[in-house]
């Protein structure tokens, strides 16, 4: 580990801390319907949208109405994307003449982008036309993020309101989230990325002649070695920058290219790398301030932020340490950091990012539900790979996905408040709202989804041949691959331990199910909590009230998260990454 590496990590956190307050306050204004500096431009557009769609912006919704509107919107969007994928060969903006996307891949992808997962079981540049990428995928990058923000805002309103039956209007929240927050930020972000060299064009793929042709030997279909001379290379093109900014900003993570943010056209420079991580954390971090602002307890918002920041630092420390330490198998090789080499375990990492920025990016992308990658998590050391996996298993609540991170965290807050709240001698209260059996039930349901899906699907996959046949590395690493695939899909992350061949019928179907369950079975109980809390009275704080502010609360929250999640996944992890780590130091690699 180097001072420079640590500086980059802390610098990112520092910049995020700086923008949390202004953006958080802005988001609160947007959803409270207060005046903002963008109103003169956006208000007419917003009104026009409502007039065209017949939305009455004054009409408030109860939580079931809100949930139904959200589901309706998601289902329609999903179907539209599926149709575009299946018909892209007849549509325009397809200079490569790519064929229709196969049915199970198309379904998997439609589910994946609708649920803000962006799990990609295909290679984008050889599968998706420019139209599909822009009208299908990029559209979802915006809307699925806006849905996430709307859900978080609905929950915050539920906490803040007293004795009310409604939690807002889904269509209005969606529209405002898109117009005021996502579009302006994505626009600025894209332009800055273009300045760094991210491409934006509709050109057909370029064929380049390589300077030094190479002989490549592969195994042919008949099992005999085939030797080819490679003298030219196809370089894919496309409207990358417009998709890149929202890919990070909306914590979507679906790359324009298979190599995702490791590809020079997506992420060319160290500054673009910093900017992408910044965009990933931007909205999730700001929403903690919005939580504090809208509920009238700014200190609570900061306590939640503090818990997130602490978990973030813990994770990045382990990941950075594990990767910088290198691979014990190469004991004869110099793996120390020097001016000539980054040192450590550089397998699957870009030289222009090095150890620190790769470990940091891996932490950022899995703390949130982004899933963009600038290095291959599959190639991390076992402990380094344990971090992204654990981050996802926590439920991606360390800043988390746009909106989903905050509501996931609030569910843990409710559990923490319920367990420890009793210890101050009152029935548990969260910001003046009594936490009763209905709220506990919904919170537990929401938490159960992740463990239920990850454990059961992984258990099936590791004993059935249709599951094990996709595992490319035997032993504990194979288990990690499977666990990662389901954690990533149920958590709507979308990154992968790429060693697993996920483009099979079983994995396309089971991960689709995981993504749908992970998104909607988690968010519906959350909306139910919002509705339940909104109906309650708010007890004013007194000396005897459970404090949800300050470092003590942050520590309590962190402990609750770690204990509940660790207890759920420790047995599985001990046979996966932990065992792999121990075996690696015993001289056995996978």
Partner 1 sequence: MTGTSNAKGSALREKKIVVRAIGDSFRKLHPRTMVKNPVMFVVEVGAVITTIQLLWNAAHHVVSVGFGFGLQITLWLWFTVLFANFAEAMAEGRGKAQAETLRKARAETEAHRVKDDGSIEQVPGSTLRAGDVVIVTAGEFIPGDGEVIEGIASVDESAITGESAPVIRESGGDRSAVTGGTRVISDEIRIRITANPGETFLDRMIRLVEGASRQKTPNEIALNILLAGLTIIFLLAVATLQPFAIYSHASQNIFVLVALLVCLIPTTIGGLLSAIGIAGMDRLIQRNVIAMSGRAVEASGDVDILLLDKTGTITLGNRAATQFIAAPGVNERELADAAQLSSLADETAEGRSIVVLAKEKYGLRGRDLSAHETNFIPFSAHTRMSGVDLDGRQIRKGAPDAIARYATEHGNLIPAEVQKQIEGIASSGGTPLLVTENRRILGVIALTDIVKGGMRERFDHLRAMGIKTVMITGDNPLTAAAIARQAGVDDFLAQARPEDKMALIRREQANGRLVAMTGDGTNDAPALAQADVGVAMNTGTQAAKEAGNMVDLDSNPTKLIEIVEIGKQLLITRGALTTFSVANDVAKYFAIIPAMFAGVFPQLGILNIMHLRTPQSAILSAVIFNALIIVALIPLALRGVRYRPVGAAALLRRNLLIYGMGGIIAPFIGIKLLDVLIRVLHWA
Tell which one of 93, 310, 583, 589 touches partner 1 (CB under 8 A).
Answer: 583
Instruction: Give whichever of 479 and 523 is closer to partner 1, judged by the CB atom.
Output: 479
Asked if residue 436 binds partner 1 (CB under 8 A), the reply is yes
Asked if residue 545 binds partner 1 (CB under 8 A), the reply is yes
Asked if residue 83 binds partner 1 (CB under 8 A), the reply is no
Please return the burial class of 313, using the count of CB atoms within 10 Å of its CB with bins 0-12, 13-18 and 19+: middle
Asked if residue 572 binds partner 1 (CB under 8 A), the reply is yes
Asked if residue 54 binds partner 1 (CB under 8 A), the reply is no
Asked if residue 325 binds partner 1 (CB under 8 A), the reply is no
C-alpha 117/C-alpha 100 separation (Å) is: 22
For the bound state, the minimum distance from the C-beta of residue 123 to partner 1, rounded and expressed in Å, comes to 29
Helix or strand run (H / E) with residue 430: strand 429-430
Distances (CA, A) of 541 to 372, 439, 549, 556: 42, 20, 12, 20
Stretch in the footprint of partner 1 (CB under 8 A) among 4-12, 56-64, 295-303, 429-437 = 429-437
Helix or strand run (H / E) with residue 434: strand 433-434
For the bound state, the minimum distance from the C-beta of residue 566 to partner 1, rounded and expressed in Å, comes to 8
b/e map 248-276, b = 16+ CB within 10 Å: bbbbbbbbbbbbbbbbebbbbbeebbbbb
Distances (CA, A) of 317 to 66, 312, 314, 323, 401: 40, 8, 5, 10, 21
Residues near partner 1 (CB under 8 A), total: 70
Asked if residue 473 binds partner 1 (CB under 8 A), the reply is no
Asked if residue 310 binds partner 1 (CB under 8 A), the reply is no
Tell which one of 236, 421, 494, 577 touches partner 1 (CB under 8 A).
Answer: 421
In contact, 397 and 430? CB cutoff 8 Å? no
Residue 491 tokens read as 């958590």
Stretch in the footprint of partner 1 (CB under 8 A) among 53-61, 106-114, 218-226, 414-422 = 414-422
Beta strand spans in 129-239 (E): 206-219, 225-235
Asked if residue 466 binds partner 1 (CB under 8 A), the reply is no
Tell which one of 220, 235, 456, 466 touches partner 1 (CB under 8 A).
Answer: 456
Dihedrals phi, psi of 349, to nearest 5 degrees:
-115, 150
Residue 438 tokens read as 């209905």
Instruction: Give whichever of 306 and 476 is closer to partner 1, judged by the CB atom.
Output: 476
Asked if residue 505 binds partner 1 (CB under 8 A), the reply is no
Tell me whether strands 206-219 and 433-434 are parallel, antiparallel or unpaired: unpaired
Asked if residue 476 binds partner 1 (CB under 8 A), the reply is yes
Asked if residue 385 binds partner 1 (CB under 8 A), the reply is no
**Axis crossing angle, helix 298-325 with helix 382-393, rounded to the nearest 10:** 160
Asked if residue 579 binds partner 1 (CB under 8 A), the reply is yes
Asked if residue 172 binds partner 1 (CB under 8 A), the reply is no
DSSP symbols for 10-56: HHHHHHHHHHHHHHHHHHHHHHHT---TTHHHHHHHHHHHHHHHT--
Stretch in the footprint of partner 1 (CB under 8 A) among 11-19, 111-119, 279-287, 545-553 = 545-553
Asked if residue 546 binds partner 1 (CB under 8 A), the reply is yes
C-alpha 416/C-alpha 411 separation (Å) is: 9
For the bound state, the minimum distance from the C-beta of residue 550 to partner 1, rounded and expressed in Å, comes to 7
Asked if residue 197 binds partner 1 (CB under 8 A), the reply is no
> Helices then strands (H, E): number in the chain?
21, 4
In contact, 385 and 377? CB cutoff 8 Å? yes
What residues between 108 and 167 interact with partner 1 by CB under 8 A? 162
Where do contacts with partner 1 occur on this chain (CB under 8 A)?
Answer: 162, 415, 418-428, 432, 435-437, 439-441, 444-445, 447-448, 451-452, 455-456, 458-460, 462-463, 468, 475-476, 478-479, 537-540, 542-547, 550, 552, 556, 559, 563-564, 566-572, 574-576, 578-579, 582-583, 585-586
């Amino acid at each position: 580990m180097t001072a420079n590496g640590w500086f980059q990590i802390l610098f990112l956190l520092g910049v995020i801390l700086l923008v949390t307050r202004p953006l958080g306050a802005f988001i609160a204004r947007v959803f409270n319907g207060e005046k903002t500096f963008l109103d003169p431009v956006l208000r007419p557009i917003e009104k026009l949208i409502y007039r065209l769609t017949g939305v009455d912006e004054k009409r408030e919704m109860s939580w079931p109405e809100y949930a139904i509107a959200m589901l309706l919107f998601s289902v329609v969007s999903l179907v539209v994307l599926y149709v575009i994928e299946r018909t892209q060969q007849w549509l325009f903006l397809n200079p490569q003449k790519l064929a229709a996307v196969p049915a199970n891949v198309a379904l998997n992808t439609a589910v994946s982008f609708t649920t803000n997962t962006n799990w990609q079981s295909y290679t984008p540049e050889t599968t998706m036309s420019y139209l599909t990428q822009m009208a299908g995928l990029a559209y979802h990058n915006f809307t699925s993020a806006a849905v996430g923000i709307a859900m978080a805002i609905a929950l915050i309103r539920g906490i803040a309101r007293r004795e009310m039956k409604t939690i807002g209007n889904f269509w209005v929240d969606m529209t405002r989230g898109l117009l005021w927050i996502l579009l302006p930020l994505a626009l600025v972000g894209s332009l800055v990325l273009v300045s760094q060299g991210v491409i934006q064009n509709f050109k057909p793929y370029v064929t380049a002649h390589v300077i030094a042709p190479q002989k490549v030997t592969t195994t042919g279909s008949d099992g005999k070695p085939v030797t080819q001379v490679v003298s030219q290379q196809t370089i894919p093109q496309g409207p990358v920058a417009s998709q890149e900014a929202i890919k990070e900003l909306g914590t979507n993570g679906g790359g324009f290219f298979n190599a995702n943010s490791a590809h020079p056209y997506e992420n060319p420079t160290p500054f673009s790398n910093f900017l992408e991580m910044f965009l990933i954390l931007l909205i999730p971090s700001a929403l903690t301030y919005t939580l504090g602002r809208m509920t009238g307890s700014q200190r609570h918002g900061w306590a939640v932020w503090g818990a997130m920041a602490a978990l973030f630092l813990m994770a990045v420390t382990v990941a950075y340490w594990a990767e910088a330490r290198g691979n014990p198998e190469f004991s004869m090789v110099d793996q120390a950091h020097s001016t000539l080499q980054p040192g450590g375990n550089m397998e699957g990492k870009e030289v222009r990012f090095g150890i620190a920025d790769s470990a940091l990016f891996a932490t950022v992308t899995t703390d949130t539900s982004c899933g963009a990658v600038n290095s291959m998590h599959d190639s991390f050391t076992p402990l380094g790979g344990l971090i992204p996996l654990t981050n996802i298993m926590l439920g991606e609540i360390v800043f988390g996905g746009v909106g989903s991170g905050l509501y996931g965290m609030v569910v843990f807050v409710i559990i923490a408040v319920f367990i420890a709240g009793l210890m101050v001698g009152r029935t548990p209260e969260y910001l003046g709202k009594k936490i009763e059996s209905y709220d506990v039930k919904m919170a537990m349901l929401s938490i159960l989804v992740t463990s239920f899906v990850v454990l059961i699907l992984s258990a099936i996959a590791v004993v059935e041949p249709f599951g094990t046949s996709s595992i490319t590395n035997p032993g504990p690493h194979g288990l990690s691959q499977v666990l990662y695939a389901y954690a990533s899909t149920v958590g709507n992350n979308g990154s992968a331990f790429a060693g697993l061949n996920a483009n099979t019928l079983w994995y396309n179907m089971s991960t689709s199910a995981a993504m749908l369950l992970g998104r909607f079975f988690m968010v519906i109980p959350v909306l139910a909590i919002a509705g339940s809390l909104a109906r309650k009275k708010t007890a004013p704080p007194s000396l005897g009230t459970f404090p949800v502010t300050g470092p003590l609360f942050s520590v309590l929250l962190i402990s609750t998260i770690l204990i509940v999640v660790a207890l759920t996944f420790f047995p599985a992890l001990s046979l996966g990454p932990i065992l792999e780590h121990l075996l690696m130091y015993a001289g056995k690699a996978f």
